[in-house]
Amino acid sequence: MNAVLSRSSDSRWPVPPLLWATGAVHAGAALSLLAAPAYWPWALAAVVLNHAVITATGLWPRSTALGANLVRLPASAAARREVALTIDDGPDPEVTPAVLDLLDAYGARATFFCIAERATRHPGLVREIVRRGHSVQNHSHAHRHNFSLLGPRGFAREIQAAQAVLAELAGEAPRFFRAPAGLRNPFLAPVLHRLGLALASWTRRGYDTRERDPQRVLQRLTRGLAAGDILLLHDGHCARDAQGRPVVLAVLPALLATLRQHQLVPVTLTQSCAARSTTP
């Protein structure tokens, strides 16, 4: 089993170096206050700077400094020329069925990071996603705008509620979690570890929730395209092109054709991360 999916929830969470450094900064600041109170502005500045670094890191979706974060498929998947299409913020009754038809037309498999509240409203769509061979993963319960400001309890509530809904509807518990907008703070990683979920972000994204030009979305997704890439598109919250068409529907045929042209195989995250490595 690949390391991405083999983490068990009863093992200890491996504290990342940035958080050890944070502990050291705080301890050092406290000690220096005791030893030399007159230098308090320096101690305060060190703590403020440290918090600024932590906050900036949480606003960087592809960062691995706050804990494990899947930004590319494992090397074994890249060796098989696999890529992962990930489609966020659905299911959407207008867009998702058309996305499924396009994927079928190219024999492609994708991973849908669903918002559980939407899944509850459209349970048939979740079942249809699974029936067509795709994977349903956890994108939180309500996709709250203030998600990255939650603490450990708030994270656990949002993620566990979504996990229960999606496991029930999809018939299989999600193994991956993606934070709304990819934003987070240091409390998220220990919660995910306890729940046995792996954080997944992406290699490249098209910004298709606000970009109205399908050509530019396609360029962002295909510039430097390589085996092992994780690509991000949206079936929910997607922008509309000049003709009022959901951008994802305009982008997908050209994107799938480009993948085929480069002999890249779109598979689900679970498929590519759970498959045994073919390299020693």
Catalytic residues, by residue number, are 88, 234
- Give least dist CB 139 to Zn ion, A: 6
For Zn ion, which is the closer residue by CB, 209 or 268?
209
For Zn ion, which is the closer residue by CB, 89 or 229?
89
For Zn ion, which is the closer residue by CB, 88 or 241?
88
CB atoms near residue 13 (< 10 Å): 16
Instruction: Output DSSP code: residue 73.
Output: -
| 86 close to 109: Cβ distance less than 8 angstroms | no
Is position 235 an interface residue for Zn ion (rule: CB under 5 A)? Answer: no
String of contacts with Zn ion for each residue 163-202, x by CB under 5 A = -----------------x----------------------
Is position 88 an interface residue for Zn ion (rule: CB under 5 A)? Answer: yes
Task: Report how far residue 176's alpha carbon sits from residue 161's, in angstroms, rounded to the nearest whole number.
Answer: 14
What residues pair up with 233 in beta bridges, in sequence order? 87
For Zn ion, which is the closer residue by CB, 82 or 158?
158
Task: Report how far residue 144's alpha carbon sits from residue 240's, in angstroms, rounded to the nearest whole number.
Answer: 22
Q: Give the CA diameter of the chain.
A: 71
Task: Report how far residue 181's alpha carbon sits from residue 236's, in angstroms, rounded to the nearest whole number.
Answer: 13
Helices (H), 106-184: 116-121, 123-131, 152-170
Task: Report how far residue 201's alpha carbon sits from residue 157's, in angstroms, rounded to the nearest whole number.
Answer: 21
Stretch touching Zn ion by CB under 5 A, among 42-50, 51-59, 81-89, 213-221: 81-89
What tokens appear for 278 in the block? 């073919």
Number of residues that bind Zn ion (CB under 5 A): 3
Task: Report how far residue 272's alpha carbon sits from residue 98's, in angstroms, rounded to the nearest whole number.
Answer: 24
Is position 158 an interface residue for Zn ion (rule: CB under 5 A)? Answer: no
63, 70, 84, 89: which one contacts Zn ion (CB under 5 A)?
89
Stretch touching Zn ion by CB under 5 A, among 11-19, 48-56, 59-67, 88-96: 88-96
For Zn ion, which is the closer residue by CB, 80 or 134?
134
- Give least dist CB 166 to Zn ion, A: 14
Binding site for Zn ion (CB under 5 A): 88-89, 180
